[in-house]
C-alpha cells in the first residue's frame, strides 16, 4: 500500500457571500497564483437560490417562498 503526504493548504472561512463575487474572486486567485502558492479551500455559504436547467422556465417554480 502506497502512502502519500498531504500538502499544506490554506483554509478561508468566508461566511455567507453572494455567488458571483466569490466566483469572480476564485477566478482571479487562480489567474494570479504561481506554482509556489499553497492551495486554498474556501468555505462559503450562499444565500438560497433556484437553479433551473436548460429547459427550465420561471413558471416551473411553483412556490418561491422567500427566495
pLDDT tens-digit series, residues 1-12:
666 666 788 999
Kindly state the cell numbers that stand for 19. 455567488
Cα gap 11→39, rounded to integer Å: 9
- Domain range list for the chain: 10-49
Q: What is the pLDDT of residues 42-64, one digit of tens each?
A: 999 999 887 888 998 888 888 88
Provide the whole-model pTM. Answer: 0.64
Tell me which H or E stretch contains 43: strand 39-45
Amino acid at each position: 500500500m502506497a502512502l502519500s503526504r498531504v500538502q499544506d493548504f490554506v483554509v478561508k472561512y468566508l461566511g455567507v457571500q453572494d455567488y458571483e463575487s466569490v466566483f469572480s474572486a476564485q477566478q482571479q486567485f487562480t489567474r494570479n497564483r504561481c506554482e509556489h502558492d499553497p492551495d486554498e479551500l474556501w468555505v462559503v455559504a450562499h444565500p438560497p437560490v433556484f437553479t433551473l436547467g436548460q429547459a427550465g422556465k420561471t413558471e416551473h417554480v411553483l412556490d418561491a417562498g422567500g427566495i
